[in-house]
Structure 1
Amino acid sequence: MGNVQPTIVPYEQFDVTADIKALRQACKGLGTDEAAIVEILANRSAAQRTEIKQAYFEKYDDELEEVLRGELTGSFEKAIVAMLDPPHVYAAKQLRQAVQGVGTDEAVLVEILCTASNQDIVSYKEAYAQLHECELEADIEGDTSGDVRNLLIALLQAGREEGYEVDEDLAEQDAQSMFEAGEGRFGTDESTFTNVLAQRNYLQLQATFKVYEKLSGTDILDTITSEATGTLQDCYVTLVRCAKNPQLFFARRLNAAMKGAGTDEDTLIRIVVGRSEQTIWKTQLYIEFHAKQDHKLVTGLKQQ
């Protein structure tokens, strides 16, 4: 799975009083000291930033988020404001945006829900209910349909086995079931793929994928590409890639967000801010995986 140490850790010399004074000073008068804002917020853990937010309100009777919104603009504003929420609250807000209004941003649902641990799922659901006074599961059910809905609802049950045991017999059974549900029949029995991919631990899935390749002569990703389409395919591919190497999955997402004309800043912010306390893939894996490509993010990430 690679190195999974966080890039953001609690600041050892944390002084909440000094931080709120510095932030207040950075936003006073003509102009804004963006460097001071970054220096503080980008070097504090989510828990410390929450403490800063609360202390700022108690000291100045101002919401720090509103103060910063008034001082900043564009994607920089979005990134800074995103850092003021605990990760599970930020994810819940992103999920709400994905299902609100006309249409559904299924790519966001896939990215967040298909890469989440059981505890992540539970915390997202709790935060969603507290923030929006409605249930995440009900909103997902109302905004999606068919096999995609079935898979996302299955993930929302937070029932994945999360141990490190590998049952070779079960791997054989699951590989055989997946083969018979896909390549071994006319049409595809999506429920079999959903049950296996949503419930087995990642090491168990890796064992299943190896057996599957021996059994069918085909990589599981190639089978999924030929058997599923659209958002369901995206869900399955995400689950498989996260089982194999979650850091590589997010490195691909970062690269896709920056390829071609323009940049998908929302995706960059969601991944970099949302996962900064979980892994170190941001610099190391991006450089390794895209060594021969245009590293537009490398310099900025190294400076964090």
Structure 2
Amino acid sequence: MASNLVSALFQQATYSSNYPSPSGPTVTPFPNFDASVDAAAINNALNAKGVDEETIISILTTRTNLQRQQIAADYQQSVGKQLKAVLKSKLSSKLETVALNLLQTPAQFDAHQLYYATKGLGTDEDCLVEILVSRSNKEIKEIIKVYQEEFNCDLEGKIKSDTSGAFQKALIALLKASRDESSTVDHDLADDDARALYEAGEKRKGTDVDTFINILTTRNFAHMHTVFQRYTKYSKHDVDKALDLELNGDIENVLISLVKCMGNKPAYFAEKLNNSMKGYGTDDDKLIRIMISRSEVDLKDVEIEYKAKYGMTLYKAIKDDTKGDYEKILLALCGTKE
């Protein structure tokens, strides 16, 4: 991990329980919205010769999730069939995947992503980390509720059965959704936390990972900024260097991801998007997951960070890495033409 990462991240961000978004989402409420008109247009597009994919893409990517839910309800009432089922029968490949995911509520979408991350052989640790470090307390609680409803299964129990050790402890701590989401800084506690992190890591042989997990998963972002500043009173290293020296593997990934989200969440997602497209092949699951999950939150900010860090627009990166209707629906979510 690059030296001074934590310090740099926190210097470029404003600290609050919710990252202040100068640009925000790429998908916003469609003006003069009429669910019945959109449902009829989608029905016509689905029944057109060869299927009118462009109309379907245009509607699904310019309506908010709430508006899409209303379209689906109106479609069911007027046509007598579930929109998801008809889309599944008429579309194919990755266009089908994106379209069906856009019709899920945010909590359903996250719950399904977590379900498939732990289904079958192997576990998609990056998916587990990405979702749990970046969602609010309210969002995590809703995911847990929906996961139980959708799969008749306890999310915590599933994660426990698929992970182990310190990594498991960190994920379970995040599932508790107990982070202080205020912007209050207790300076005495910040000093105590900084000393505790030092004594849990550098000062001792071996690492008291529980202390790192407890502090990094419960304190608010502003407080942690102060903790990281105070840490240099006790150590010749910055906290980021200490984490690099003390931890490795999945536990390092989850704690470093937490730090990045605390500092600059759009930059964290810009990096994840770049990772999904660099090298040979594309991690389509990750690319789709981030484009959908951030489209109504901060995707414009992610685009700004992407351009600043990688020297090209996210739009161009996606255009270079995808093709066909899959490319069209992802580019439409970008909300820009360049």
Q: After superposition, where does 1:96-111 map in structure 2 within 5 Å?
A: 96-111=115-130
C-alpha separation in 2, matches of 1:293 and 1:88 = 29
What residue in structure 1 maps to residue 181 of structure 2? 162
Pairs aligned (count): 304
SS at match of 1:77: helix
C-alpha separation in 2, matches of 1:147 and 1:283 = 33
* 1:99/1:139 contact within 8 Å kept: yes
C-alpha separation in 1, matches of 2:128 and 2:297 = 19
Q: For 2:65, which of 23, 39, 46 is the aligned residue?
A: 46
1:3 pairs with 2:24: no
1:285 pairs with 2:305: yes
Q: Deviations over 1:178-234 (max 9, x none)?
A: 111111111100000000011001111111112224532323222212211111111
C-alpha separation in 2, matches of 1:97 and 1:214 = 44
C-alpha separation in 1, matches of 2:256 and 2:92 = 35
Q: For 1:262, which of 273, 281, 297 is the aligned residue?
A: 281
SS at match of 2:25: coil
* 2:21/2:301 contact within 8 Å kept: yes
What residue in structure 1 maps to residue 7 of structure 2? none
Q: For 1:126, which of 145, 159, 182 is the aligned residue?
A: 145
Q: After superposition, where does 1:109-188 map in structure 2 within 5 Å?
A: 109-188=128-207
CA-CA distance at 1:70 after TM superposition: 2.0
Give the aligned residue type for 1:122: K
Q: Deviations over 1:121-168 (max 9, x none)?
A: 111001101111111111111211111111111111111000011112
SS at match of 1:172: helix
CA-CA distance at 1:86 after TM superposition: 0.8
Q: For 1:62, which of 81, 96, 105 is the aligned residue?
A: 81
* 1:272/1:282 contact within 8 Å kept: no
C-alpha separation in 1, matches of 2:175 and 2:302 = 27
* 2:27/2:295 contact within 8 Å kept: yes
Give the aligned residue type for 1:291: G
Decide whether aligned partners of structure 1 residues 175 and 297 sit closer, same or farther in structure 2, where only a CA change above 3 A counts: same
Q: Deviations over 1:46-89 (max 9, x none)?
A: 11101111111111112211211222222222111110011111
| Gap regions ≥5 residues in structure 2 | 1-12, 14-19, 321-330
Give the aligned residue type for 1:175: A
CA-CA distance at 1:288 after TM superposition: 1.7
* 1:283/1:298 contact within 8 Å kept: no
Give the aligned residue type for 2:188: D
C-alpha separation in 1, matches of 2:96 and 2:269 = 23
Q: Select the structure with the greater relative contact order (CA < 8 A; seq sep ≥ 6).
A: 2
1:221 pairs with 2:240: yes
Q: After superposition, where does 1:227-246 map in structure 2 within 5 Å?
A: 227-246=246-265
* 2:72/2:83 contact within 8 Å kept: yes
SS at match of 2:301: coil
In the superposition, the TM-score normalised over structure 2's length comes to: 0.85
Give the aligned residue type for 2:308: E
CA-CA distance at 1:283 after TM superposition: 2.2
C-alpha separation in 1, matches of 2:66 and 2:181 = 25
| Gap regions ≥5 residues in structure 1 | none
* 2:179/2:218 contact within 8 Å kept: yes
SS at match of 2:42: helix
SS at match of 1:248: helix
- Structure 1 segments, 4+ long, off by >4 Å, are 292-295
Report sequence identity in percent.
37
